[in-house]
Amino acid sequence: MDGCVFCKIVAKEIPADIVKETENFIVFKDLHPKADIHLLIVPKTHYNDIHTISDNEWEEIRDIAIHLGKEFKLNGFRLVNNAGKAAAVNHLHVHFLGEVDQEREI
């Protein structure tokens, strides 16, 4: 989608600190981290938000998150998704936040 910063990252037009890439997703470090490990799991296909992504793609997000948790040897992590006007970028993405305390507000 024209003007979408995440589409430009997917197309490698904008640099990002990429930590993982699959056929359908790209995972990179958040520029403004809210946790020691703060990654964005972003589909390569532009979806505005949760309303248009398929169940298979949600399953892949789950699989990527579990893989990241194991890769970073985390005791726990959070997944956060903002939809509609709550999202800062109008391209579906899931925040992966590693090693945050259960009481910590994000």
Asked whether residue 98 is domain-assigned, the answer is no
Is residue 18, in this structure, part of any structural domain at all?
yes
Report yes or no on 60 lying in a domain. yes
- The phi and psi torsions of 105 (rounded to 5 degrees) equal -90, 135
pLDDT in tens, 14-70: 999 999 999 999 999 999 998 899 999 999 999 998 989 999 999 999 999 999 999
| Joined tokens for residue 94 | 């899931």
Instruction: Go through the chain and tell me how many residues it has.
Output: 106
- Quote the pTM value: 0.92
Task: Give me the domain span that covers residue 45.
Answer: 5-22+31-78+86-92
Give the domain CATH number at 59.
3.30.428.10
Q: Within a domain: residue 102?
A: no
- Helix, coil or strand: residue 101: coil
Nearest 5°: CA angle at 15, between 83 and 17? 75
- 104 or 50, which is more confident? 50
The answer to whether position 45 is within a domain reads yes
Question: Is the pLDDT confidence value at 106 over 70?
Answer: no
Q: Does some domain include residue 106?
A: no
Q: Does any domain span residue 50?
A: yes
- The gap between the terminal CA atoms of the chain, to the nearest Å, is 29
Q: Domain count of the chain?
A: 1
Q: How many helices (H) and strands (E) does the chain have?
A: 2, 5
Residue 92: pLDDT above 90?
A: yes
In the prediction, which pLDDT does 33 show? 93
Residues marked as catalytic:
93
Better-predicted residue by pLDDT, 75 or 60: 60
E runs forming strands in the chain = 18-21, 25-29, 37-43, 77-81, 94-98
